């Protein structure tokens, strides 16, 4: 494991525990991403986007990582309008943190967990499905 992967794994674990604590609330909605790249679960204050192996493959083969991430996750804004700002954040996060996301990916894909409440959104990649 590289130094960067070790750091990313440690940060992911601590932040993931904090976000996981917020997931004990009732699920508000659940839907699949329109292109079959994954699915989304929305809870009060927290969302989880699971990118399956198909979604990871699309991103891995992309010339424009941020644009492809926005394209894949565009269905979030349609299905859950209050999460529209999160789509841009997720696109930028995927482009900036692709190495950490790839290191967190396993055969089930990767789940991006985050908060959508101010003052600042948090996104944490964790291995596998929900």
Q: Could you list the mean pLDDT of each consecutive 10-residue stretch along the chain, which spans 130 residues? A: 48 49 72 91 89 93 91 87 85 89 89 79 74
**Residue 89's pLDDT is what?**
85
Residue 51, pLDDT score: 94
Please state the pTM of the whole predicted model: 0.75
Tokens of 81: 């309008």
Q: How far is CA 111 from CA 17, 116, 119, in A?
A: 13, 16, 22
């Amino acid at each position: 494991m590289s130094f960067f992967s070790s750091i990313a794994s440690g940060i992911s674990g601590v932040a993931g525990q904090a976000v996981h604590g917020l997931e004990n609330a009732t699920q508000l909605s659940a839907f699949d991403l329109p292109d079959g790249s994954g699915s989304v679960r929305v809870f009060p204050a927290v969302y989880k986007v699971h990118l399956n192996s198909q979604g990871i493959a699309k991103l891995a083969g992309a010339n424009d990582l941020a644009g492809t991430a926005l394209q894949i996750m565009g269905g979030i804004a349609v299905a859950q309008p209050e999460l529209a700002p999160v789509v841009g954040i997720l696109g930028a996060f995927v482009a900036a943190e692709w190495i950490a996301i790839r290191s967190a990916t396993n055969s089930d894909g990767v789940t991006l967990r985050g908060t959508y409440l101010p003052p600042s959104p948090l996104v944490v990649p964790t291995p596998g499905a929900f």
